[in-house]
Amino acid sequence: MSDINKVVLAYSGGLDTSVIVRWLQDTYKCEVVTFTADIGQGEEVEPARAKAKALGVQEIYIDDLREEYVRDFVYPMFRANAIYEGEYLLGTSIARPLIAKRLIEIANETGADAISHGATGKGNDQVRFELGAYSLKPGIKVIAPWREWDLTSRETLMAYCAERNIPVDFAGKKKKSPYSMDANLLHISYEGGNLEDPYWEPEEDMWRWSVSPEAAPDTPTYIELGYENGDPVTLNGEALSPATMLETLNKIGGDNGIGRLDLVENRYVGMKSRGCYETPGGTIMLRAHRAMESITLDREAAHLKDELMPRYAKLIYNGYWFSPERRMLQAAIDESQAFVNGVVRLKLYKGNVVVVGRKSDNSLFDEAIATFEDDAGAYNQKDAEGFIKLNALRLRIAANKGRSQL
Protein backbone atom coordinates (compact mmCIF):
# COMPACT_ATOMS: atom_id res chain seq x y z
CA MET A 1 0.00 0.00 0.00
CA SER A 2 1.44 3.39 -1.03
CA ASP A 3 2.04 5.94 1.70
CA ILE A 4 1.26 8.70 -0.80
CA ASN A 5 -2.31 9.97 -0.49
CA LYS A 6 -2.12 13.22 -2.46
CA VAL A 7 0.19 14.45 -5.21
CA VAL A 8 0.53 17.91 -6.78
CA LEU A 9 1.27 17.55 -10.49
CA ALA A 10 2.73 20.22 -12.75
CA TYR A 11 0.02 19.90 -15.41
CA SER A 12 0.01 21.35 -18.92
CA GLY A 13 -3.13 19.63 -20.17
CA GLY A 14 -1.22 17.91 -22.97
CA LEU A 15 -0.88 14.24 -23.72
CA ASP A 16 2.00 13.46 -21.35
CA THR A 17 0.61 15.08 -18.23
CA SER A 18 -2.93 13.85 -18.91
CA VAL A 19 -1.59 10.31 -18.97
CA ILE A 20 0.37 11.06 -15.80
CA VAL A 21 -2.83 12.06 -13.95
CA ARG A 22 -4.40 8.67 -14.63
CA TRP A 23 -1.13 6.80 -14.08
CA LEU A 24 -0.71 8.39 -10.65
CA GLN A 25 -4.30 7.51 -9.77
CA ASP A 26 -3.84 3.91 -10.93
CA THR A 27 -0.33 3.33 -9.62
CA TYR A 28 -0.39 5.13 -6.30
CA LYS A 29 -4.16 5.04 -5.64
CA CYS A 30 -3.85 8.68 -4.66
CA GLU A 31 -5.65 11.96 -5.14
CA VAL A 32 -4.09 14.23 -7.76
CA VAL A 33 -4.00 18.02 -7.52
CA THR A 34 -3.13 19.74 -10.79
CA PHE A 35 -1.19 22.97 -11.11
CA THR A 36 -1.01 24.86 -14.39
CA ALA A 37 1.19 27.96 -14.58
CA ASP A 38 0.64 30.81 -17.00
CA ILE A 39 4.15 32.16 -17.57
CA GLY A 40 3.41 33.57 -21.00
CA GLN A 41 3.58 30.43 -23.10
CA GLY A 42 1.20 31.99 -25.61
CA GLU A 43 -1.57 29.42 -25.25
CA GLU A 44 -4.76 29.49 -23.25
CA VAL A 45 -4.26 27.77 -19.91
CA GLU A 46 -7.89 27.76 -18.78
CA PRO A 47 -8.78 24.72 -20.98
CA ALA A 48 -6.56 22.70 -18.65
CA ARG A 49 -9.32 23.01 -16.05
CA ALA A 50 -11.84 21.08 -18.16
CA LYS A 51 -9.23 18.48 -19.05
CA ALA A 52 -8.33 17.94 -15.41
CA LYS A 53 -11.99 17.68 -14.38
CA ALA A 54 -12.56 15.06 -17.08
CA LEU A 55 -9.82 13.01 -15.43
CA GLY A 56 -11.51 13.20 -12.05
CA VAL A 57 -9.33 15.90 -10.50
CA GLN A 58 -11.08 17.82 -7.71
CA GLU A 59 -8.45 20.41 -6.76
CA ILE A 60 -7.26 22.42 -9.75
CA TYR A 61 -4.85 25.35 -9.59
CA ILE A 62 -4.39 27.66 -12.59
CA ASP A 63 -2.15 30.60 -11.71
CA ASP A 64 -1.11 33.68 -13.66
CA LEU A 65 2.57 33.98 -12.73
CA ARG A 66 3.73 36.22 -15.57
CA GLU A 67 4.60 39.28 -13.53
CA GLU A 68 6.26 37.28 -10.78
CA TYR A 69 8.23 35.33 -13.38
CA VAL A 70 9.73 38.36 -15.05
CA ARG A 71 10.09 40.53 -11.93
CA ASP A 72 11.58 37.96 -9.56
CA PHE A 73 13.39 35.58 -11.89
CA VAL A 74 14.09 37.02 -15.36
CA TYR A 75 15.07 40.52 -14.27
CA PRO A 76 17.50 39.39 -11.52
CA MET A 77 19.12 37.04 -14.04
CA PHE A 78 19.51 39.79 -16.63
CA ARG A 79 21.18 42.06 -14.07
CA ALA A 80 23.96 39.48 -14.24
CA ASN A 81 24.01 39.44 -18.09
CA ALA A 82 23.77 35.66 -17.74
CA ILE A 83 24.50 33.53 -20.80
CA TYR A 84 25.21 29.79 -20.70
CA GLU A 85 28.12 28.57 -22.83
CA GLY A 86 28.41 31.91 -24.55
CA GLU A 87 25.06 31.77 -26.35
CA TYR A 88 22.01 30.48 -24.45
CA LEU A 89 19.89 33.06 -22.63
CA LEU A 90 18.46 30.44 -20.23
CA GLY A 91 14.81 30.83 -21.15
CA THR A 92 13.71 27.38 -20.02
CA SER A 93 16.13 27.17 -17.11
CA ILE A 94 14.92 30.30 -15.33
CA ALA A 95 11.23 29.28 -15.47
CA ARG A 96 11.72 26.01 -13.58
CA PRO A 97 12.49 27.36 -10.09
CA LEU A 98 9.27 29.38 -10.13
CA ILE A 99 7.24 26.30 -11.04
CA ALA A 100 9.03 24.28 -8.35
CA LYS A 101 8.31 27.02 -5.79
CA ARG A 102 4.60 27.05 -6.62
CA LEU A 103 4.41 23.24 -6.55
CA ILE A 104 5.72 23.28 -2.99
CA GLU A 105 3.41 26.12 -1.96
CA ILE A 106 0.41 24.16 -3.25
CA ALA A 107 1.64 20.99 -1.57
CA ASN A 108 1.74 22.90 1.71
CA GLU A 109 -1.71 24.41 1.12
CA THR A 110 -3.35 21.09 0.24
CA GLY A 111 -1.45 18.79 2.59
CA ALA A 112 -0.02 16.79 -0.28
CA ASP A 113 2.60 14.11 0.36
CA ALA A 114 4.38 14.44 -2.96
CA ILE A 115 4.84 16.43 -6.14
CA SER A 116 5.13 15.13 -9.69
CA HIS A 117 6.32 16.43 -13.06
CA GLY A 118 6.46 15.31 -16.67
CA ALA A 119 10.18 15.82 -17.28
CA THR A 120 12.04 12.91 -18.80
CA GLY A 121 15.02 11.12 -17.28
CA LYS A 122 17.30 12.42 -20.03
CA GLY A 123 16.89 16.15 -19.60
CA ASN A 124 17.78 19.04 -17.34
CA ASP A 125 14.27 19.87 -16.18
CA GLN A 126 13.99 16.88 -13.84
CA VAL A 127 17.06 18.22 -12.03
CA ARG A 128 15.78 21.79 -11.92
CA PHE A 129 12.32 20.87 -10.60
CA GLU A 130 13.64 18.50 -7.98
CA LEU A 131 16.59 20.56 -6.73
CA GLY A 132 14.19 23.47 -6.31
CA ALA A 133 11.63 21.33 -4.51
CA TYR A 134 14.13 19.76 -2.12
CA SER A 135 15.60 23.19 -1.35
CA LEU A 136 12.18 24.46 -0.26
CA LYS A 137 10.78 21.32 1.39
CA PRO A 138 13.54 18.80 2.15
CA GLY A 139 11.20 15.93 3.03
CA ILE A 140 8.95 16.18 -0.01
CA LYS A 141 8.53 13.05 -2.12
CA VAL A 142 8.99 13.43 -5.87
CA ILE A 143 7.35 11.16 -8.42
CA ALA A 144 8.89 11.29 -11.89
CA PRO A 145 6.80 8.93 -14.06
CA TRP A 146 9.22 8.93 -16.99
CA ARG A 147 11.77 7.31 -14.66
CA GLU A 148 9.28 4.69 -13.45
CA TRP A 149 6.82 3.61 -16.12
CA ASP A 150 7.34 1.58 -19.29
CA LEU A 151 5.62 4.07 -21.61
CA THR A 152 8.37 5.13 -24.00
CA SER A 153 6.74 6.91 -26.94
CA ARG A 154 3.76 8.91 -28.08
CA GLU A 155 2.25 5.73 -29.51
CA THR A 156 2.39 3.93 -26.16
CA LEU A 157 0.90 6.97 -24.45
CA MET A 158 -2.00 7.00 -26.92
CA ALA A 159 -2.52 3.26 -26.39
CA TYR A 160 -2.64 3.91 -22.64
CA CYS A 161 -5.35 6.51 -23.25
CA ALA A 162 -7.36 4.07 -25.35
CA GLU A 163 -7.12 1.30 -22.75
CA ARG A 164 -8.29 3.55 -19.92
CA ASN A 165 -10.86 5.63 -21.81
CA ILE A 166 -8.92 8.86 -21.45
CA PRO A 167 -10.51 11.18 -24.04
CA VAL A 168 -7.88 11.88 -26.67
CA ASP A 169 -9.33 15.37 -27.07
CA PHE A 170 -8.20 15.98 -23.51
CA ALA A 171 -4.89 14.25 -24.13
CA GLY A 172 -3.73 16.66 -26.76
CA LYS A 173 -4.66 15.00 -30.06
CA LYS A 174 -4.20 17.76 -32.61
CA LYS A 175 -1.90 18.77 -35.39
CA LYS A 176 1.45 19.07 -33.71
CA SER A 177 4.81 20.55 -34.52
CA PRO A 178 7.34 17.81 -35.27
CA TYR A 179 9.48 19.35 -32.53
CA SER A 180 9.30 19.33 -28.77
CA MET A 181 8.58 22.94 -27.84
CA ASP A 182 8.63 24.88 -24.59
CA ALA A 183 7.56 28.51 -24.36
CA ASN A 184 7.31 31.24 -21.78
CA LEU A 185 7.60 35.02 -21.81
CA LEU A 186 11.37 34.88 -22.23
CA HIS A 187 11.67 32.40 -25.08
CA ILE A 188 10.41 29.49 -27.12
CA SER A 189 12.58 26.41 -27.64
CA TYR A 190 12.57 23.64 -30.24
CA GLU A 191 14.17 20.20 -29.82
CA GLY A 192 13.88 16.72 -31.30
CA GLY A 193 12.74 15.68 -34.76
CA ASN A 194 15.08 16.67 -37.54
CA LEU A 195 16.99 18.88 -35.09
CA GLU A 196 18.58 15.74 -33.66
CA ASP A 197 20.87 15.93 -36.69
CA PRO A 198 23.13 18.88 -35.74
CA TYR A 199 23.88 19.52 -39.44
CA TRP A 200 20.20 19.91 -40.34
CA GLU A 201 19.10 23.49 -41.03
CA PRO A 202 15.63 24.07 -39.57
CA GLU A 203 12.92 24.96 -42.03
CA GLU A 204 11.64 28.52 -41.97
CA ASP A 205 8.14 27.60 -40.83
CA MET A 206 9.52 26.10 -37.61
CA TRP A 207 10.02 29.56 -36.12
CA ARG A 208 6.94 30.96 -34.37
CA TRP A 209 7.94 34.32 -32.88
CA SER A 210 10.17 35.97 -35.44
CA VAL A 211 10.44 36.69 -39.13
CA SER A 212 13.70 35.78 -40.82
CA PRO A 213 16.25 38.59 -40.93
CA GLU A 214 15.94 38.55 -44.73
CA ALA A 215 12.19 39.20 -44.48
CA ALA A 216 12.47 41.86 -41.78
CA PRO A 217 11.65 45.49 -42.68
CA ASP A 218 14.14 47.42 -44.79
CA THR A 219 13.76 50.39 -42.45
CA PRO A 220 15.30 50.18 -38.96
CA THR A 221 13.23 50.51 -35.81
CA TYR A 222 14.58 52.79 -33.07
CA ILE A 223 13.62 52.30 -29.43
CA GLU A 224 14.73 53.75 -26.10
CA LEU A 225 14.89 51.65 -22.93
CA GLY A 226 14.96 53.44 -19.57
CA TYR A 227 16.74 51.68 -16.68
CA GLU A 228 16.45 51.92 -12.91
CA ASN A 229 18.76 49.86 -10.69
CA GLY A 230 19.63 47.62 -13.62
CA ASP A 231 16.05 46.82 -14.70
CA PRO A 232 14.27 48.17 -17.80
CA VAL A 233 11.29 50.21 -16.59
CA THR A 234 10.32 52.39 -19.56
CA LEU A 235 10.04 51.83 -23.30
CA ASN A 236 10.13 55.01 -25.37
CA GLY A 237 9.33 56.96 -22.22
CA GLU A 238 6.32 54.84 -21.21
CA ALA A 239 6.44 52.95 -17.91
CA LEU A 240 5.70 49.25 -18.36
CA SER A 241 5.38 46.39 -15.89
CA PRO A 242 8.04 43.67 -16.17
CA ALA A 243 5.78 41.20 -17.99
CA THR A 244 4.40 43.84 -20.34
CA MET A 245 7.91 45.09 -21.06
CA LEU A 246 9.15 41.66 -22.09
CA GLU A 247 6.02 40.85 -24.06
CA THR A 248 6.29 44.15 -25.97
CA LEU A 249 10.00 43.70 -26.70
CA ASN A 250 9.29 40.18 -27.95
CA LYS A 251 6.86 41.59 -30.51
CA ILE A 252 9.16 44.42 -31.62
CA GLY A 253 12.19 42.15 -31.75
CA GLY A 254 10.40 39.34 -33.54
CA ASP A 255 9.12 41.76 -36.18
CA ASN A 256 12.74 42.72 -36.86
CA GLY A 257 14.11 39.18 -37.07
CA ILE A 258 15.89 39.36 -33.72
CA GLY A 259 16.62 36.57 -31.27
CA ARG A 260 17.02 33.35 -33.27
CA LEU A 261 19.62 30.90 -32.01
CA ASP A 262 20.74 27.43 -33.08
CA LEU A 263 23.15 25.72 -30.70
CA VAL A 264 24.47 22.46 -29.31
CA GLU A 265 24.65 22.68 -25.52
CA ASN A 266 26.01 20.47 -22.77
CA ARG A 267 23.22 19.17 -20.55
CA TYR A 268 23.86 18.74 -16.84
CA VAL A 269 23.19 15.00 -17.08
CA GLY A 270 26.17 14.67 -19.44
CA MET A 271 24.90 14.48 -23.01
CA LYS A 272 25.06 17.10 -25.74
CA SER A 273 21.75 18.38 -27.07
CA ARG A 274 20.91 20.47 -30.12
CA GLY A 275 18.21 23.08 -29.70
CA CYS A 276 16.87 26.16 -31.45
CA TYR A 277 15.60 29.16 -29.53
CA GLU A 278 13.79 32.43 -30.11
CA THR A 279 14.49 35.09 -27.48
CA PRO A 280 13.77 38.44 -29.16
CA GLY A 281 12.99 40.53 -26.09
CA GLY A 282 15.78 39.00 -24.05
CA THR A 283 18.32 39.64 -26.81
CA ILE A 284 17.35 43.32 -26.82
CA MET A 285 17.45 43.54 -23.02
CA LEU A 286 20.88 41.97 -22.78
CA ARG A 287 22.43 44.34 -25.29
CA ALA A 288 20.77 47.38 -23.71
CA HIS A 289 21.76 46.41 -20.17
CA ARG A 290 25.42 46.00 -21.08
CA ALA A 291 25.33 49.39 -22.78
CA MET A 292 23.84 50.97 -19.65
CA GLU A 293 26.50 49.34 -17.49
CA SER A 294 29.27 50.51 -19.83
CA ILE A 295 28.87 54.11 -18.70
CA THR A 296 27.69 53.60 -15.12
CA LEU A 297 29.78 50.75 -13.69
CA ASP A 298 33.30 51.11 -12.35
CA ARG A 299 35.81 49.20 -14.48
CA GLU A 300 36.77 46.61 -11.87
CA ALA A 301 33.18 46.08 -10.80
CA ALA A 302 32.22 45.47 -14.43
CA HIS A 303 35.12 43.09 -14.97
CA LEU A 304 34.34 41.18 -11.78
CA LYS A 305 30.73 40.80 -12.91
CA ASP A 306 31.95 39.34 -16.20
CA GLU A 307 34.14 36.86 -14.31
CA LEU A 308 31.28 35.79 -12.06
CA MET A 309 28.70 35.56 -14.84
CA PRO A 310 29.62 32.10 -16.24
CA ARG A 311 29.39 30.59 -12.76
CA TYR A 312 26.06 32.31 -12.15
CA ALA A 313 24.71 31.15 -15.52
CA LYS A 314 25.79 27.56 -14.86
CA LEU A 315 24.03 27.59 -11.50
CA ILE A 316 20.77 28.60 -13.18
CA TYR A 317 21.20 26.13 -16.03
CA ASN A 318 21.89 23.27 -13.63
CA GLY A 319 18.98 24.08 -11.32
CA TYR A 320 20.62 25.76 -8.33
CA TRP A 321 18.48 28.91 -8.19
CA PHE A 322 17.71 28.39 -4.48
CA SER A 323 21.29 27.53 -3.54
CA PRO A 324 23.28 29.71 -1.09
CA GLU A 325 25.97 30.35 -3.71
CA ARG A 326 23.44 31.74 -6.19
CA ARG A 327 21.99 34.01 -3.52
CA MET A 328 25.50 35.20 -2.60
CA LEU A 329 26.25 36.02 -6.23
CA GLN A 330 22.86 37.72 -6.60
CA ALA A 331 23.57 39.97 -3.63
CA ALA A 332 26.86 41.07 -5.18
CA ILE A 333 25.23 41.60 -8.58
CA ASP A 334 22.32 43.59 -7.14
CA GLU A 335 24.74 45.77 -5.15
CA SER A 336 26.47 46.66 -8.41
CA GLN A 337 23.22 47.90 -9.97
CA ALA A 338 22.54 50.87 -7.69
CA PHE A 339 23.83 53.35 -10.30
CA VAL A 340 22.75 51.47 -13.44
CA ASN A 341 20.18 54.10 -14.30
CA GLY A 342 19.54 55.97 -17.52
CA VAL A 343 18.45 55.53 -21.12
CA VAL A 344 19.80 53.37 -23.93
CA ARG A 345 18.91 54.06 -27.56
CA LEU A 346 18.86 51.04 -29.87
CA LYS A 347 18.51 50.45 -33.59
CA LEU A 348 16.83 47.17 -34.57
CA TYR A 349 17.51 46.08 -38.12
CA LYS A 350 17.29 42.69 -39.84
CA GLY A 351 18.25 40.54 -36.88
CA ASN A 352 20.69 43.02 -35.37
CA VAL A 353 20.48 45.02 -32.15
CA VAL A 354 22.77 48.03 -32.43
CA VAL A 355 23.42 50.39 -29.53
CA VAL A 356 23.43 53.93 -30.93
CA GLY A 357 23.30 55.97 -27.72
CA ARG A 358 23.35 55.87 -23.96
CA LYS A 359 22.98 58.54 -21.25
CA SER A 360 22.77 58.61 -17.47
CA ASP A 361 22.88 61.03 -14.59
CA ASN A 362 25.16 58.42 -12.96
CA SER A 363 27.54 58.19 -15.89
CA LEU A 364 31.26 57.75 -15.16
CA PHE A 365 32.13 58.87 -18.68
CA ASP A 366 34.01 62.18 -18.28
CA GLU A 367 34.16 64.07 -21.56
CA ALA A 368 36.75 66.49 -20.19
CA ILE A 369 39.17 63.61 -19.57
CA ALA A 370 38.28 61.35 -22.52
CA THR A 371 38.43 64.03 -25.21
CA PHE A 372 40.96 63.89 -28.04
CA GLU A 373 40.93 67.69 -28.07
CA ASP A 374 42.56 70.03 -25.56
CA ASP A 375 41.51 68.81 -22.10
CA ALA A 376 42.65 71.99 -20.31
CA GLY A 377 44.85 69.99 -17.95
CA ALA A 378 42.18 67.55 -16.79
CA TYR A 379 44.55 64.66 -17.48
CA ASN A 380 48.33 64.82 -17.19
CA GLN A 381 49.69 62.61 -19.95
CA LYS A 382 53.12 62.51 -18.29
CA ASP A 383 51.60 60.39 -15.52
CA ALA A 384 51.30 57.49 -17.99
CA GLU A 385 55.09 57.02 -18.12
CA GLY A 386 55.44 55.98 -14.49
CA PHE A 387 52.27 53.91 -14.70
CA ILE A 388 53.64 51.92 -17.64
CA LYS A 389 57.10 51.44 -16.09
CA LEU A 390 55.66 50.18 -12.80
CA ASN A 391 53.43 47.69 -14.60
CA ALA A 392 56.37 46.60 -16.75
CA LEU A 393 58.70 46.10 -13.77
CA ARG A 394 58.18 42.34 -13.37
CA LEU A 395 58.48 41.84 -17.13
CA ARG A 396 61.74 43.78 -17.24
CA ILE A 397 63.17 41.85 -14.30
CA ALA A 398 62.33 38.52 -15.96
CA ALA A 399 63.89 39.63 -19.25
CA ASN A 400 67.05 40.76 -17.44
CA LYS A 401 67.23 37.28 -15.89
CA GLY A 402 67.31 35.63 -19.29
CA ARG A 403 63.63 34.99 -19.71
CA SER A 404 63.16 37.16 -22.79
CA GLN A 405 60.83 35.76 -25.42
CA LEU A 406 63.33 36.53 -28.20
Residues carrying an active site annotation: 16, 96, 125, 180
CA distance 33 to 110: 8
- Please check if 121 is assigned to a binding site: no
154 among the known binding-site residues? Answer: no
Tell whether 134 is in a known binding site. Answer: no
Q: How far is CA 156 from the centre of its chain?
A: 32
Burial 77-94 (b: 16+ CB within 10 A, else e): bbbbbbbbeeebbbbbbb
Any known ligand binding at 277?
Answer: yes
Does 395 show up as a binding residue in the annotation? no
Is 2 among the annotated ligand-binding positions?
Answer: no
Residue 212 labelled as part of a binding site:
no
Cα–Cα distances in angstroms (integers) from residue 311 to residues 273, 278, 286, 315, in the given order: 20, 23, 17, 6
Is 286 annotated in a binding site? The answer is no
Q: How do 31-38 and 6-10 pair as beta strands?
A: parallel
**Secondary structure element (H or E) that encloses residue 402, with its range:** none
Question: Is 69 assigned to a binding site?
Answer: no
User: 263 burial class (0-12, 13-18, 19+ CB within 10 angstroms)?
Assistant: middle
According to the annotation, is 404 in a ligand binding site?
Answer: no
Q: Rounded CA gap, 381 and 388, in Å? A: 12
What gap in Å lies between CA 250 and CA 181, rounded to an integer? 17
- 12 is an annotated ligand-binding site residue: yes
CB 230 within 8 Å of CB 82? no
92 is in an annotated binding site: no
Annotated binding site for ATP: 10-18, 37, 118
Annotated binding site for L-citrulline: 88, 93, 124, 128, 180, 189, 265, 277
Annotated binding site: 10-18, 37, 88, 93, 118, 120, 124-125, 128, 180, 189, 265, 277
